[in-house]
Amino acid sequence: MLAVVIAFTLLGSLVFAAPSSNATIGFVLVTFILVLGRHLNKVALQLPEPRRSILYTLYYSMPHLELFDVRDLIIHDWPPIAWKVCGLATLYGLAYATAFLIIACVVFRRRAVN
């Protein structure tokens, strides 16, 4: 999860004008995903078209950081997560981190360096 957030912040540092705006937008987006990410599909199903499709597209395209929030499993003493699930979650996170880093690299290469 941290890799995704760091990669996104790196991309943000190239796209946004100031560190303050990057930090604020990053904070808002991460909070939004952690709080609502899991429920966006249910909200989307209640909406009429085309808002349903727009929200579902957002749901599928955003990194689901809430998948990595396993506090409830730890707090309530649930059995350990299966290795297969851990592996898949890691791959999922790595895919998003890589995508953000590649986009950041492309944006950086196109920047004029004074």
Partner 1 sequence: MRSSKVSELSAVALLVLCFGIAAYLEVWFQGWQGSRTQSGDVLSVMLGDGRRLFANHFFVKADAYFHSGYYPTIFDNREAFKTPHMAEDSGTVAGKNQGDETGFLGRPLDWIDAFGRNLFPATHTHLDQGGASHDLGDSSGVREILPWLQLSAELNPNDIRTYTVTAYWLRERMGKPDEAERFLRDGLRANPGSYEILFELGRLFAENHHDPARARNLWEVALRNWQKQETGKADPDKFSFLQITSQLAKLEESQTNYARALAYMEMWKARSPSPDAIQKQMEELRQNVAADKPQLIGSPKSQE
Residues that bind partner 1 (CB under 8 A): 38-39, 41-43, 45, 59-60, 64, 66-70, 72-73, 75-79, 81-82, 85, 88-89
Rounded to whole angstroms, the Cα distance separating 74 from 71 reads: 5
Q: How far, CA to CA in Å, does 97 sit from each of 4, 21, 46, 55, 61?
A: 4, 21, 31, 22, 13
- Smallest distance, Å, CB 48 to partner 1? 17
- Smallest distance, Å, CB 111 to partner 1? 34
H or E element in which residue 58 lies: helix 51-61
CB-nearer residue toward partner 1: 71 or 111: 71
CB-nearer residue toward partner 1: 21 or 53: 53
Query: Can you state the angle between helices 83-110 and 2-15, rounded to 10 degrees?
Result: 10
CB-nearer residue toward partner 1: 4 or 104: 4
Query: Can you state the angle between helices 19-36 and 2-15, rounded to 10 degrees?
Result: 140
CB-nearer residue toward partner 1: 54 or 73: 73
- Smallest distance, Å, CB 23 to partner 1? 27
